[in-house]
Amino acid sequence: MLECYFRLSKFIPTFCVKTVYDIDYIKLYERGKRIILTDLDNTLIPYDASSPDEKLKKLFEYIHSIGFEIIIVSNNHKKRVSSFASEIGCQYISFAMKPFTKGYKKALKRTKHKKEKQEVIAIGDQLLTDILAASKLKIDSILVNPIKHKGEKWYTRLNLRREKKILKRIKKQYPDRYKEIEENHEC
């Protein structure tokens, strides 16, 4: 079990917000971030959607206009991830196998920017995949609240059950950080 092999602190995100619309991208840029590695399902769109809506397209345009490079790094299959990425106009890595770091590493190889880890931020809705993979690579991360749980794959449901156990331990050992997570994330 992942939660036994890794230190609890590896599951704790650097920042927590409710949605990708609540991130202060200007501030991130000012802090030196240049590359965003974002999850797809339940972070950008729910499982039962396949295309970005106008609001999300505008957000991506805005993020690009600041000067960020965004790459979608998803555990989902190529067909779904590639069609979404082409509609929104950015690169992607499908079948990323997070919490393994392979997908994030592959994405970083494709970036035009230098690959300093301090320049990278990962965004995702799951502690056991998105956040753990980022921590393993020593990349900062932002946890968002999952858009919705309906239609999730069996392994995501399993991860959510395991996430609950991890959150209990975080609550005990890192009460301040837990409070921050709890305010933004369905615990």
The residues that touch Mg ion, with contacts defined as CB under 5 A, are 39, 41-43, 125
CB nearer Mg ion, residue 43 or residue 145: 43
CB of 142 to Mg ion, least distance (A): 13
Q: For residues 87 and 51, is the Cβ–Cβ distance under 8 A?
A: yes
- The CA-CA-CA angle for residues 150, 101, 104, to 5°, reads 80
CB nearer Mg ion, residue 19 or residue 29: 19
CB of 76 to Mg ion, least distance (A): 9
CB of 175 to Mg ion, least distance (A): 26
CB of 170 to Mg ion, least distance (A): 19
CB nearer Mg ion, residue 35 or residue 122: 122
CB nearer Mg ion, residue 29 or residue 82: 82
* Dist. CA 187–CA 182, nearest whole Å: 6
